[in-house]
Structure 1
Amino acid sequence: MKADLIELMDRIIQVLQINIRWMTWNLFLAFIPLALSIWLFRMKRGRSWVWWLGFLVFYAFLPNAPYLLTDVIHLIHDIRTIQSVWIISLVLIPVYLLVILAGFEAYVISLINLGYYLHRIGKSQWIVWVEIITHALCAVGIYWGRFLRFNSWDFVTQPDALLTKGIEEILGKQPLVIIAITFGILVGLYWLMKRVTLGFIRQRNNSIDMPSQGINSNKSSME
C-alpha cells in the first residue's frame, strides 16, 4: 500500500513537471494584456504616442489569453498517455481547468477594462462592436498561434511572413471554418464569464458598502 502511494506521488510529480513550464509561460503571456489593460484603461492618462504603443502591444498579446482554451489538446494527450484514473481526475483535470479559466478570465477582465474606458470617454455605444471585433481578431490570432505557430512578437520580428503566410492561410475554407467556430466559442464564453465576473464584482461592492453604511448610521444615532 505504501509503495503504491509513493509510486502514485512520483507519477503526479512527473506529470506536473512536464506541464508546469509551458503552463507558466502561457499564463505569463495571458496576463500581459491584463496588466496593460489596467495601465491603459483604468488609469487616467492622455493618449500620447506611448499610450498608442501600449494599445498596439495590448492587442498583439491579447489572443494569448483565450489561446489557453486550445491547450485542451494537451489534456487529451495526457489522458491518453496516463492510465491512472486518480491522476487524471484529481490532478490533471483540476490543473488544466484552473489554467484555462485563469487565462480566459484575464481575457474577460481585459475587455471589461476596455469597455470601462470607452464608457468613461463617452463612447459606450461602441462597446459591443469593439468586443465583437476583438473576438474576431483574437479568433484569427488563435488560429495563427495554434496552427501556424506564430507568436505575438512576430509582428516585429517577421511581419512579412506573418502578413503573407498568415493571410494566405486564413483564406482557405478549412481555416475559415475553424476561425468561425473559434469566434462563436469566444462570443459565448465571454458573454457568460463577463456576467459572472460583473456579478461577483457587484456582490463584492455591495458587501463592502453595507458595513460602511452601518458605521454611518451608528454615527448618526450617536449624534
Structure 2
Amino acid sequence: MPLSPGALRYRLPLLLVLGLSLALSFALIAVRILLTGQLQFTFLLWNLFLAAIPFGLSAALTLAARPPAGRLLLPVGAVWLLFFPNAPYLITDLFHLVPRRGVPYWYDLALIMSCAWNGLMLAFASLLDMHTLVRQRLGFWAGWGFVNLALGLSAFGVYLGRYLRYNSWDILSNPFTLFYDIVQRLLHPFHNWQTWGVTVVFWAFLLIAYATVRLLGRGQEIRE
C-alpha cells in the first residue's frame, strides 16, 4: 500500500534533516583529519553506520505495508532490537572527550556531540516507527510496553557495549561468553551494582527523552 500524503510529508523532511545532520558529523570528522593528519575519531563513522541500521529496518517495515504482516514484523523486529542499542550507545562516546593537541577542545566537543545527537535522533526516529507499528497491531498499552522493553534492553546493551566491550554480532560469534556474563549479572545484582546503575539511569533518561520528543511532535500536529 503506498504511503499517504501525510506520511510522505513527515518522512521526506525527516530524511532530509537527518541527512544534513549526518553530513555535518562527517564534515567535522573530515576537517579534523585534515587539520591533524590523524584518524582519531574515524571510529565514529562506523558507530554512526551501526546506529543507522535500526532506522533503516524500521523505515523499511513502515514503507513495506501498513500494517506489515506479523510474519514480517516479528523477525525484522528481532533484528531491529538486536541493533537498536547501537544508536543510543553513541552518547557514551562523550567519554572520549579529552584535550588533545592540534585541535581546539570546543571543536572535539562539537564533533562528538554531533555524533551523539545523531545517534539519539536515529534511535528515536526508529523507535517512533516501531512504536506505531506495535500500537496499530496490539493497542496503546502494548505500544508503550514495547517502548519500555526496547529502551530497557537498549540501556543494558549500552552497558554491555561500553563496559564489557560486546558488539551486536557477539550473539552469533561469541554467544556462550555473552550469555555467561549476562546470567552472572542477573543472578548477582548486588555484586554488579554498576551494571544496574548504568541500565536504570540510561533507561530513565532515554524514556523521558523519547516521551519529550513524542509530545513535542504531537503538540506541533495539534497546532497545525
- Shift of residue 139, structure 1, vs aligned partner: 0.9
**TM-align CA RMSD:** 2.6
Structure having the higher helix fraction is 1
2:134 aligned with 1:118: yes
Give the structure 1 partner of residue 12 of structure 2.
none
* Shift in alpha-carbon separation, 1:181–1:165, aligned structure 2, 3 A: same
SS in structure 2 at match of 1:113: helix
Deviates more, 1:103-112 or 1:160-169: 160-169
SS in structure 2 at match of 1:17: coil
One-letter amino acid of the structure 2 residue matched with residue 192 of structure 1: T
2:34 aligned with 1:18: no
- Shift of residue 83, structure 1, vs aligned partner: 8.0
Give the structure 2 partner of residue 188 of structure 1.
208
- Quote the Cα distance in structure 2 between the aligned partners of 1:123 and 1:10: 48
SS in structure 1 at match of 2:118: helix
| Equivalent residue in structure 2 for 1:64, among 86, 104, 115 | 86
Q: Deviations over 1:27-77 (max 9, x none)?
A: 0000000000112244213232x54332211100000000001011012x2
- Shift of residue 26, structure 1, vs aligned partner: 0.3
Aligned length in residues: 188
Give the structure 1 partner of residue 157 of structure 2.
141
Please list every run of 5 or more consecutive structure 2 residues that lacks an aligned counterpart in the other structure.
Answer: 1-30
Contact 2:51/2:86 (CA < 8 Å) preserved in 1?
A: yes
Listed as ranges, the matches of 1:1-223 within 5 Å are 13-14=35-36, 17-19=39-41, 21-44=42-65, 45-48=68-71, 51-75=73-97, 77=98, 79=99, 81-82=100-101, 87-89=104-106, 91-169=107-185, 171=189, 172-197=192-217, 202=221
- Quote the Cα distance in structure 2 between the aligned partners of 1:105 and 1:55: 19
- Shift of residue 127, structure 1, vs aligned partner: 1.6
- Identity within the alignment, %: 23
Contact 1:62/1:138 (CA < 8 Å) preserved in 2?
A: yes
The structure with the larger Rg is 1
- Shift of residue 129, structure 1, vs aligned partner: 1.5
Give the structure 2 partner of residue 3 of structure 1.
none
Contact 2:94/2:113 (CA < 8 Å) preserved in 1?
A: no
